[in-house]
Amino acid sequence: MAALLPGTATLGVLGGGQLGRMFVHAAQALGYRCVVLDPDAVSPAGAVAEKHVQADYLDPVGLAQLARDCDAITTEFENVPAVALETLANMRVVAPAAAAVAVCQDRAVEKAHFEAAGVPCAPHAVITNEIELAAVDPSLLPGILKTSRLGYDGKGQVRVATAAELAVAWEGLKRVACVLEQLLPLKAELSVIVARGADGRTVHFPVQQNLHRGGILAVTEVPAPDVPPEVEKLAIAAARQVAEALGYVGVLCVEFFWLDDGRLVVNEMAPRPHNSGHWTMNGSDVSQFELQVRALAGLPLPQPRQHSAAVMLNLLGDLWFTDEGGPTPPAWDRVLALPGTHLHLYGKAEARHGRKMGHLNITAATPEAAHAVALDAARLLGLPTDF
């Protein structure tokens, strides 16, 4: 398609969450108008877009309205029904495509894609019935049982050590289709974000080293402090390979397990910007959200350049609650007094435990300096300093 030039077009996004909000901000900075479709009357992205279409993702009237209002449309989360993207694609440019998003919506299909793309993933078994449950290879235990669909941030996941525990866990997950993954000894969790245009040009950010707590990303550091160049090269090549095999258009995050024995295996992927890439808003000359806008609009994709070492701290609603009660905003003035701190709050009206409320980026001239300030910020916020 011909490029949709800045200042001349309207871009749409399915989903009104924080990723949609940051997409809208990036698009508006380039001069695009934005329309958000989301069923909630109030949403982070809907609050900042030029127009909010309040409708269900499968509402034909709402989808038709979005198509009329926009020149190209993307999604901010992977669990939007793929059929909605298919419907929109009959009327407007849509990226990423429904077929690519559908792969990311099902862990079993996703792992089959990784294998077909020649990228190793963890040993696993698909469980959809009692026969497959009984046939599970004992070598996969201990493992993690994950629902094939609708699992994120640690939801829909149960650790199991024995066949008996596996059976109980599958029953507890209502016998839905699941994937059992062998529990692997991890050195670190890594991720790579790539952006690919309709012309096949693919660019990437550096490897990101991630720390999760309770299944939710807590800290990202870039450059990855423990990763040697040869591992970084392998991770970037694998992420690009995954995107190429999908014929992907847009921003894609591929997550990896770096094992104690030095092997690198792919964990999962997200067809959108990712929490681990939020540092790019302050540590790179182009952010993951600007690349999402560029890929959707058919603009050139520059190879990003990291200009500052960066640490990202995820900010959950728990920070708004103390022993004395809450919700009360944290002492942002003290945090922002630290050098190189950049606060991004998502405009959510209510703080709740476990809810992603924002993130804090720390940038510095060296990784050591960024790490030191991040530790200071964590102490001020009452966050763990285990990174």
Residues 119-140, buried b or exposed e (16+ Cβ, 10 A)?
A: bebbebbbbeeeeebeebeeeb
Q: Known binder of ligand: residue 355? A: no
Q: Known binder of ligand: residue 25? A: no
Q: Known binder of ligand: residue 303? A: no
Specify burial of residue 345 (Cβ count, 10 A radius: 0-12, 13-18, 19+).
middle
Q: Known binder of ligand: residue 182? A: yes
Per DSSP, which regions of the chain are E strands? 10-14, 33-38, 51-54, 72-75, 93-94, 124-127, 143-147, 157-160, 178-182, 186-196, 202-204, 208-213, 216-222, 250-259, 264-270, 309-316, 341-345, 356-364
Question: Of 181, 187, 184, 183, whose CA–CA distance to 209 is shortest?
Answer: 187
Q: Known binder of ligand: residue 51? A: no
Q: Known binder of ligand: residue 154? A: yes
CB 363, CB 387: distance < 8 Å: no
Q: Known binder of ligand: residue 226? A: no
Q: Would you tell me the crossing angle of helices 288-297 and 18-29 to the nearest 10 degrees?
A: 70
Q: Known binder of ligand: residue 152? A: yes
Q: Known binder of ligand: residue 157? A: yes
Q: Known binder of ligand: residue 268? A: yes
Q: Known binder of ligand: residue 130? A: no
Q: Known binder of ligand: residue 107? A: yes
CA 144/CA 135 separation, integer angstroms = 16
Q: Known binder of ligand: residue 76? A: no
Q: Known binder of ligand: residue 181? A: yes
Binding residues for ATP: 107, 146, 151-157, 181-184, 189, 212, 267-268
Binding residues: 107, 146, 151-157, 181-184, 189, 212, 267-268
